[in-house]
């Protein structure tokens, strides 16, 4: 397994981490997540959230209420009305289920034997994930679990996947139990951990898996101090890389060709006319050779998003149908659009996209491949994953809203907005590819992008709640767009 060594990581400067950072730590049982997550919370002054304790608390409640670990509906009925609190207390966390302290009760072998089963139900996970998102949406947290980087916080500031060999993990657990005075058989412990690994990684919904943008740290050979320090530095990798972005707007503008300045002038005029607002990335700085991945709801998306890109040339992947007629074709080619045939694999289009990224240019892509119903982004098609794997280019997810219900000067039907997410970098992709094949990896990258769109949408709804117009139109569009999608992609 490739892993980051302390030497690969930036010099330590805790001020680099923003106060509202979200640090996601995932990994198998016994990899040392809890210890390190607590350490990081303490070091950076963030709130520690142990999501495993939440699944354990539900398991414990199901045992005392006589609810079967197989009965998804009954588990959800138990969880939905319950209050579940994680209260920090002197380096430990007190877990309160309906106000009762269950911190000790959730650490028993009975709970341990059933918790993976309880955590495998999609409806249980859905409820837990929304609680976890509510706890961490304002930031300032270190959250540990199995699906934090991949599902709960797809836009986390830092994602760490902490792993260790089964042998090392058994050793640690064995010592822990001994210290607590519990007699435990080593073979039994090995079997239990291997079983939980299997259950957690093979379940259908959000299995334990390396998020392709996570920093993978193998702690088998590290002592506790080394593990903690390595992880602390890993939290600073993205903020350090962000510092390298060139934010000199005037220099950037001087460098773009005249015809681009003209195109951006037109796009910006259009954006002003519709009252477009931009959130995030106000100075327009992106890394060289970056993929800008935008959700797609309207024909107006390209020029409106284009209005936020006033600093550089942008190569846009656009459907081949648009290039049929020469005046349009010439215009599109003039501003570096790349025609892509959406039926089957268009090797020429992907080669052109890769060449642009390799040259350090920006690639604008609508990875859903066609317009989608308002309020329901995704699914993202495999093309994004193919480009990511071919280039390892960093990606910025961008969410557009209101390009459908636009009116001059802004609309009450739907605010016209473009929201930028943080730059995502594919630190864990090579390691992930030792576990799954390229096609599966494209699917995982696509899912991550889709979740990023949902998270950006949620942030947008926090600023301006979804309007009735958006909700109703979205419902109508779902069926209509699904039919069109089947026609476009013949699937
Ligand atoms: O980290 P832990 O051992 O306390 O986790 C207990 C169980 O909960 C583990 O078997 C997997 C599950 N879990 C999960 O499915 N998703 C999470 N985010 C956290 C834990």
List, as one string, the DSSP characters of 418-472.
Answer: EEE-PPB--TTHHHHTTTS-HHHHHHHHHHHHHHHHHHHHHHHHHHSPPPHHHHH
Residue 381 Cβ inside 6 Å of ligand 1? The answer reads no
**Chain centroid offset of residue 74 CA:** 30
pLDDT of residue 51: 96
Cβ-contact 339, 319 below 8 angstroms = yes
Torsions phi, psi for 404 (to 5 deg): -95, -50
Cβ-contact 364, 400 below 8 angstroms = no
On the question of pLDDT at 353 being above 70, the answer is: yes
Distance 444 CA to ligand 1 centre (A): 20
Distance 147 CA to ligand 1 centre (A): 9
On the question of pLDDT at 23 being above 60, the answer is: yes
CA distance linking residue 368 with residue 100, whole number of Å: 46
Residue 153 Cβ inside 6 Å of ligand 1? The answer reads no
Say what percent of the chain tops pLDDT 90.
73
CA distance linking residue 155 with residue 134, whole number of Å: 14
pLDDT of residue 351: 96
CA distance linking residue 397 with residue 48, whole number of Å: 27
Average pLDDT, the chain: 91
On the question of pLDDT at 268 being above 90, the answer is: yes
Tell me how many degrees the CA angle 364-241-287 measures, rounded to the nearest 5: 20
pLDDT of residue 246: 81
pLDDT of residue 122: 96
CA distance linking residue 298 with residue 486, whole number of Å: 18
CA distance linking residue 274 with residue 404, whole number of Å: 11
Which residues are paired to 162 by β-bridges?
217
Distance 210 CA to ligand 1 centre (A): 15
pLDDT of residue 93: 86
pLDDT of residue 481: 84
Residue 115 Cβ inside 6 Å of ligand 1? The answer reads yes
Residue 481 to residues 188, 343, 458, Cα–Cα distance (Å): 52, 17, 22
Distance 177 CA to ligand 1 centre (A): 19
CA distance linking residue 141 with residue 479, whole number of Å: 39
CA distance linking residue 12 with residue 6, whole number of Å: 10
On the question of pLDDT at 58 being above 90, the answer is: yes
Residue nearest to atom 20 of ligand 1 (CA): 52
pLDDT of residue 9: 67
| Residue 199 alpha carbon, nearest atom of ligand 1 | 10
Residue 173 Cβ inside 6 Å of ligand 1? The answer reads no
Ramachandran region, residue 66 (left: φ > 0; alpha: ψ -120 to 50; beta: rest): left
DSSP SS3 for 364 = strand
pLDDT of residue 97: 98
256 — pLDDT class (breaks 50, 70, 90): confident
Arithmetic mean of pLDDT, 10-28: 88
Distance 279 CA to ligand 1 centre (A): 34
Arithmetic mean of pLDDT, 370-375: 94
Torsions phi, psi for 435 (to 5 deg): -105, -30
CB atoms near residue 191 (< 10 Å): 12
User: What is the DSSP secondary structure assignment for residue 94, as one 8-state letter?
Assistant: E
CB atoms near residue 104 (< 10 Å): 9
| Residue 120 alpha carbon, nearest atom of ligand 1 | 15
Cβ-contact 470, 413 below 8 angstroms = yes
Q: 286-321 pLDDT, tens per residue?
A: 999 999 999 999 999 999 999 998 778 999 999 998
2 — pLDDT class (breaks 50, 70, 90): very low
Residue nearest to atom 4 of ligand 1 (CA): 52
Domains of the chain and CATH, by start: 2-241 (3.40.50.300), 245-489 (3.40.1130)
pLDDT of residue 59: 98
CA distance linking residue 448 with residue 151, whole number of Å: 8
CA distance linking residue 320 with residue 355, whole number of Å: 19
pLDDT of residue 1: 37
Residue 451 Cβ inside 6 Å of ligand 1? The answer reads no
Residue 427 Cβ inside 6 Å of ligand 1? The answer reads no
Distance 26 CA to ligand 1 centre (A): 10
How many residues appear in the chain? 491
422 — pLDDT class (breaks 50, 70, 90): very high
Q: Dig out the tokens for 86 from the structure.
A: 């994680």
Helix axes 33-44, 224-234, angle to 10 degrees: 60
Q: Dig out the tokens for 60 from the structure.
A: 């414990």
CA distance linking residue 357 with residue 317, whole number of Å: 12
Helix axes 347-358, 382-391, angle to 10 degrees: 40
What is the widest separation between alpha-carbon atoms in the chain? 80
10 — pLDDT class (breaks 50, 70, 90): low
Residue nearest to atom 14 of ligand 1 (CA): 146
Residue 147 Cβ inside 6 Å of ligand 1? The answer reads yes
Arithmetic mean of pLDDT, 253-270: 90
Say what percent of the chain tops pLDDT 70.
97
On the question of pLDDT at 230 being above 60, the answer is: yes
Residue 56 Cβ inside 6 Å of ligand 1? The answer reads yes
Residue 146 Cβ inside 6 Å of ligand 1? The answer reads yes
On the question of pLDDT at 137 being above 70, the answer is: yes
DSSP string for 236-266: THHHHHHHTS---HHHHHHHS-HHHHHHHHH
265 — pLDDT class (breaks 50, 70, 90): very high
Residue 135 Cβ inside 6 Å of ligand 1? The answer reads no
Choose the residue to mutate in 79, 141, 145 for probing ligand 1, maximizing ligand atoms within 8 Å of C-beta.
145
| Residue 203 alpha carbon, nearest atom of ligand 1 | 15
Residue 455 Cβ inside 6 Å of ligand 1? The answer reads no
CA distance linking residue 480 with residue 483, whole number of Å: 5
CB atoms near residue 341 (< 10 Å): 13
Could you tell me which of 392, 389, 387 has the C-alpha nearest to residue 436? 389
Residue 428 Cβ inside 6 Å of ligand 1? The answer reads no
Strand order in the sheet with 417-420: 277-279, 417-420, 395-401, 291-294, 362-365, 314-319, 337-340
Residue 237 to residues 224, 228, 287, 415, 433, Cα–Cα distance (Å): 20, 15, 14, 34, 21
Q: Dig out the tokens for 445 from the structure.
A: 């990258």
Residue 300 Cβ inside 6 Å of ligand 1? The answer reads no
Cβ-contact 381, 367 below 8 angstroms = yes
Burial degree of 403 (CB within 10 A; 0-12, 13-18, 19+): buried
Arithmetic mean of pLDDT, 422-434: 96
Pairing verdict, β 92-97 and 84-89: antiparallel
Choose the residue to mutate in 62, 115, 148 for probing ligand 1, maximizing ligand atoms within 8 Å of C-beta.
115
Pairing verdict, β 215-218 and 337-340: unpaired
CA distance linking residue 477 with residue 14, whole number of Å: 47
Distance 150 CA to ligand 1 centre (A): 14
> Which alpha helices (DSSP H) does 45-103 contain, by range?
51-65, 72-79
């Amino acid at each position: 397994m490739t892993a980051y060594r302390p030497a690969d990581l930036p010099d330590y400067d805790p001020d680099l981490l923003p106060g509202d950072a979200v640090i996601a730590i995932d990994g198998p049982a016994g990899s040392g997540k809890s210890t390190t997550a607590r350490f990081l919370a303490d070091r950076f002054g963030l709130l520690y959230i142990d999501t495993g304790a939440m699944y354990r608390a539900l398991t414990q409640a199901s045992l005392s209420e006589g609810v079967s670990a197989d009965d998804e509906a009954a588990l959800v009925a138990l969880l939905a009305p319950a209050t579940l609190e994680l209260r920090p207390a002197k380096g430990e966390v007190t877990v309160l289920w309906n106000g009762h302290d269950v911190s000790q009760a959730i650490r028993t072998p009975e709970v341990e034997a059933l918790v993976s089963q309880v955590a495998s139900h999609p409806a249980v996970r859905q409820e837990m994930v929304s609680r976890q998102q509510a706890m961490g949406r304002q930031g300032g947290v270190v959250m540990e679990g199995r699906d934090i980087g991949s599902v709960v916080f797809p836009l986390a500031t830092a994602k760490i996947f902490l792993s260790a060999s089964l042998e090392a993990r058994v050793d640690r657990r064995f010592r822990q139990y001994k210290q607590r005075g519990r007699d435990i058989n080593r073979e039994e412990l090995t079997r239990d951990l291997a079983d939980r690994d299997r259950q957690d990684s093979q379940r259908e919904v959000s299995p334990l898996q390396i998020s392709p943008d996570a920093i993978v740290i193998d702690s088998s050979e590290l002592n506790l101090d080394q593990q903690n320090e390595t992880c602390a530095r890993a939290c600073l990798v993205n903020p350090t890389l962000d510092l390298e972005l060139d934010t000199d707007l005037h220099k950037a503008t001087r460098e773009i060709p005249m015809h681009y300045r003209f195109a951006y002038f037109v796009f910006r005029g259009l954006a002003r006319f519709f009252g477009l607002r931009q959130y995030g990335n106000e100075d327009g700085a992106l890394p060289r050779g970056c993929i800008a991945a935008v959700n797609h709801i309207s024909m107006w998306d390209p020029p409106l998003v284009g209005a936020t890109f006033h600093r550089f040339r942008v190569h846009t992947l656009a459907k081949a149908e648009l290039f049929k007629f020469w005046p349009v074709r010439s215009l599109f080619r003039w501003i570096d659009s790349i025609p892509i045939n959406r039926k089957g694999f268009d090797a020429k289009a992907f080669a052109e996209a890769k060449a642009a990224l390799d040259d350090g240019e920006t690639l604008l892509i609508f990875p859903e491949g066609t317009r989608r119903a308002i309020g329901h982004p995704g699914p993202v098609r495999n093309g994004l994953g193919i480009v990511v794997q071919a280039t390892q280019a960093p990606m910025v997810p961008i969410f557009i809203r209101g390009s459908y219900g636009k009116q001059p000067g802004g609309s009450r039907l739907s605010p016209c907005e473009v929201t930028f997410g943080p730059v995502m970098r594919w630190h864990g992709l090579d390691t992930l590819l030792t576990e799954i094949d390229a096609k599966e990896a494209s699917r995982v990258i696509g899912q991550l992008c889709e979740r990023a769109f949902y998270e950006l949408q949620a942030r947008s709804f926090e600023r301006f709640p979804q309007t009735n117009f958006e909700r109703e139109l979205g419902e109508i569009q779902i069926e209509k767009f699904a039919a069109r999608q089947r026609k476009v992609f013949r699937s």
